[in-house]
Amino acid sequence: MKKMSLLFSSICLSLICATASFASGTIKIGALFAVTGPASFLGEPEKKTLELLVKELNEKGGINGQKVEAVIYDTGGDATKAVQLATKLIKDDKVSVIIGPSTTGESMAVIPVAEKEKIPLISCAAGIKITDPAKHWVFKTPANDHVAAEKILNYMTSKKQKSIALLTVTDGFGASGREQIKVLAKQKGFTVVADEVYGPKDTDMTAQLTKIRGIKPDAIICWGTNPGPAVVTKNIKQLGIKTPVYMSHGVASKKYIELAGADAAEGVMLPAGKLAIYDALPKGDVQYKLLKEYDQGYKKMYGVEASTFGGYAYDAFLLVTGAIKKSGSTPEQIRNGVEQTSKLVSISGVFNMSTKDHNGLDLSAFEMVKIVKGDWTLLK
């Protein structure tokens, strides 16, 4: 009887120690960002944002007494490398969730890994195919590209612009945007009078724009991420084209204006997340306080303003930490918690996830903006 009592006491002590160890342990969050390479304008602010948020959270005591560790790898924007690093995060680093990658192409390549290994993936890329149809382990924080496309077309309708010239990049983001615009344009009664493309590394789009100039559309929609759209903008200025120009949300940062030049970018319109123009928002806007805190905190830490793209990592971090607080820190618990997210005010909008919607954002995620004198102004 005495031996049984000692054994029971020993088991209880072991359980207490294990529980204490778990409470004071570390939650590992993996991240894949294109910190270098052509998509570094996405990955660099994402990395810096995640590092800032992890630092702030740990200084406040972590989550339920557990510290958070971010294991971040630079993919360079390469899909093959992203797959290799995703596997490393899961197999070697034993992370409970992965934030990223930064681009649509990388995200699509990593999805099979996340699904097979049953690790939640919260992409920071915009392509609709990442989450449509919904996949069990995959979510994303940027609003779907069809939402951005619809925002542009709704504004064009208000201006009675009916004929569209498309100029899209031949990568995953561009292909997805092109497809969504064409579908929506047909539904809404627009006519696509030109459908031109360019390569991600192309440095001159004069030939495509010369064709477009001859067709005389009501508007030009360029869909891509820098540096391509900046080149397009410069070429439009050089060719003296006066047609209204719309860019995608893929250039919603001051980097685009810097690359294109304020003079060439003057008058360009696009759908942008509220972070870019939060100073112009009514103070009662539900996102205003968080947007201001993020921008000011980022400036204090890094000396530059926060970007919409860094906001995608911020959103992912809020989704993950909210899920952990609510459901627990295992991959399954995080996945379930993210999917159950409702009315989460974040940088990109207000998230309402569901079993069928693993993005959770609608048209309210964007505001139409116009570049005036090197800065954003709200379009009404």
Report the relative pairing of strands 26-33 and 67-74 from DSSP bridges.
parallel
Does one domain contain both 183 and 45? no
Does one domain contain both 235 and 371? yes
pLDDT at 64: 87
Does one domain contain both 245 and 223? yes
Does one domain contain both 153 and 138? no
Dist CA 34 CA 347 (whole Å): 20
Does one domain contain both 340 and 374? no
pLDDT at 283: 81
Write out the chain's pLDDT in tens, 380 residues.
444 444 444 444 443 333 333 344 899 999 999 999 989 989 999 999 999 999 999 999 999 889 999 999 999 999 999 999 999 999 999 999 999 999 999 999 999 999 999 999 999 998 889 999 999 999 999 998 889 999 999 999 999 999 999 999 999 889 989 999 999 999 999 999 999 999 999 999 999 999 999 999 999 999 998 899 999 999 999 999 999 999 999 898 888 999 999 999 999 999 999 998 898 888 889 999 999 999 999 999 999 999 999 999 999 999 999 999 999 999 999 999 999 999 999 999 999 999 999 999 999 999 999 999 999 999 97
Question: Which residue, 246, 225, 256, 254, is CA-closest to 39?
Answer: 225
Query: Do 196 and 211 contact (CB within 8 A), yes or no?
Result: yes
Burial annotation 239-256 (CB, 10 A radius, 16+ → b, else e): eebebbbbbbbbbbbbbb
| 131 domain residue, yes or no | yes
| Tens digits of residue pLDDT in 288-301 | 999 999 999 999 99
Does one domain contain both 274 and 166? yes
| 209 domain residue, yes or no | yes
What range defines the domain where residue 205 resides?
Answer: 146-279+366-378
pLDDT at 145: 86
User: What's the total number of domains in the chain?
Assistant: 2
Query: Do 133 and 339 contact (CB within 8 A), yes or no?
Result: no
Q: Is 101 helix (H, G, I), strand (E, B) or coil?
A: coil
pLDDT at 4: 42
pLDDT at 326: 95
Does one domain contain both 150 and 273? yes
Does one domain contain both 172 and 250? yes
| 338 domain residue, yes or no | yes
pLDDT at 16: 38
| 13 domain residue, yes or no | no
Residues whose CB is less than 8 angstroms from the CB of residue 223 and which lie 6 or more positions away in sequence, other chains included: 145, 166, 167, 168, 169, 173, 174, 177, 178, 181, 247, 248, 250
pLDDT at 119: 98
pLDDT at 280: 83
Query: Do 103 and 77 contact (CB within 8 A), yes or no?
Result: yes
Residue 74 sits in a domain whose CATH number is 3.40.50.2300
pLDDT at 94: 97
Question: Which residue, 12, 68, 47, is CA-closest to 323?
Answer: 68
pLDDT at 250: 87
Does one domain contain both 228 and 344? no
| 212 domain residue, yes or no | yes
Does one domain contain both 273 and 178? yes
Does one domain contain both 136 and 75? yes
- The long-range contacts involving 280-288, CB below 8 angstroms and separated by at least 24 positions, are 280/376, 280/377, 280/378, 286/345, 286/350, 287/345, 287/346, 287/347, 287/349, 287/350
| 22 domain residue, yes or no | no
pLDDT at 218: 98
| 42 domain residue, yes or no | yes
Angle at 348 between CA 342 and CA 352, to 5 degrees: 15
pLDDT at 281: 87
Q: Is 305 helix (H, G, I), strand (E, B) or coil?
A: coil
| 109 domain residue, yes or no | yes
